[in-house]
Structure 1
Amino acid sequence: MPHDPLLTQRAALVLLLAALTGIGAGVLTAWQGHGAAAAVGAGLAAFGPGVVFFHLVIA
């Protein structure tokens, strides 16, 4: 019996791109010499708007 996927392909793509955006923001923050907590905070702060942005852009 086939099972339905947990996420659609579109949802997986939106979350993947938002995660990559958050990782990029965190890496750039860390490269500027800020601490790990600031880098994680910047990554998390970029993830949320990234989800909204890619949700609107990817039809």
Structure 2
Amino acid sequence: MDRPLLSLRSTLVFLLAVLAGAAAGGLTALAGDSTPRSVLAGLAVAGLAVPFFNRLIDSDTTTVRPEGPAGTGIAEGENHG
């Protein structure tokens, strides 16, 4: 098997979701709630974090260039002449 199971982007999204869930569960446990409630809070945050980080780490690689003065479409500092 030459190719990885998950892409780098997917791995990062899942890692960040797990870290967010662990932090939420740990903070809930430190707040004095019971263990099952802390686990449920961590799982809920991890489940909500996956689509959040998926949208945050967008796969679109297009570069947006800033518009120049007066909406000319030429960025400041570019020399087209």
For Structure 1 versus Structure 2, the TM-score category normalised by the shorter chain is over 0.9
User: What is the RMSD computed on CA atoms of the aligned residues?
Assistant: 0.8
Report the counterpart of residue 39 of structure 1 in structure 2: 38
Report the TM-score, using the length of structure 1 for normalisation: 0.94
Whole-angstrom distance in 1 between the partners of 2:55 and 2:47: 13
Q: How many residues were matched structurally?
A: 58
Structure 1 runs of 4+ off > 6 angstroms?
none
Unaligned runs of 5+ in 1: none
Report the counterpart of residue 19 of structure 1 in structure 2: 18
Q: Check if 1:55 corresponds to 2:68.
A: no
Higher RCO (Cα < 8 Å, 6 or more apart): 1
2:39 counterpart letter in structure 1: V
More helix as a share of residues: 1
Unaligned runs of 5+ in 2: 59-81
Report the counterpart of residue 61 of structure 2 in structure 1: none
Structure showing greater radius of gyration is 2
Report the TM-score, using the length of structure 2 for normalisation: 0.69
2:7 counterpart letter in structure 1: T
Whole-angstrom distance in 2 between the partners of 1:49 and 1:30: 19
Whole-angstrom distance in 2 between the partners of 1:49 and 1:35: 21
Whole-angstrom distance in 2 between the partners of 1:49 and 1:37: 18
